[in-house]
Amino acid sequence: DVELKTLKSQMNPHFIFNCLNSVRALIVEDPERGQTVVTQLANILRYSLQSGNAETVRLEEELQIVNDYLALEKTRLEDRLQITMQIDPASRSALIPPMLLQTLVENGIKYGIATQPNRGRICLFSQARDGMLQIQITNTGQLQRASNSDGFGLANTKERLKLLFGGAASLSLEETSPNEVTANLTIPLGGG
């Protein structure tokens, strides 16, 4: 319990600072849009704080926050960010660790799409099948094998999965084409 709570608390500051940096420029450029973005950020922060005591949340709840996060990034990246979602209705009630999906989407944008000179795409796919929740997050970009910059968030995520689900859950990253990375996440539907 203590180790899991420590891992969850370490994740929040990283996320908050990334969001605040995204919002800062927009407030100057377009105050009305800035208000909308601040509301979206407030939704994300509220969710982060409220879910801090929960070991798991429904995928549906996490998707609402991911949508707010993607709206923030869409504001910043404009037409450089293309978003596709294919969510199996049967997967929406599945339980996942809070901020898990958001962290993977954030990594895909930060280390993939934001580094691209042209537009990039992030695709979210989920399905409930054979007693497992399967999630794929695919983004334009390449694995950063030589860099440790994104190691903390992914190591933290893997450790949280291990503590909650033991060996029944898995997370892997792979280059699925020369300029595409996919995060594959599998979590048991019945819990750990």
Q: Give the model confidence (pLDDT) of 121-175 as tens digits.
A: 999 999 999 999 999 999 999 887 544 444 556 777 888 898 889 899 999 999 9
For residue 85, the SS3 value is strand
Q: What distances in angstroms separate CA 139 from CA 2, 70, 106, 186, one per listed residue?
A: 33, 13, 10, 18
Nearest to 133 by CA among 91, 191, 161, 105: 91
User: Alpha-carbon distance 84 to 138, whole Å?
Assistant: 10
Which pLDDT belongs to residue 53?
73
Burial class (CB in 10 A: 0-12, 13-18, 19+), 70: buried
Which pLDDT belongs to residue 45?
78
Both tokens of 86, joined, read 């294919």
Within 30-112, where are the H helices?
31-50, 59-77, 100-111
- CA 145 centroid distance within chain: 20
User: Alpha-carbon distance 192 to 48, whole Å?
Assistant: 22
pTM of the model: 0.81
Which has the minimum average pLDDT: 45-49, 117-121, 180-184?
45-49
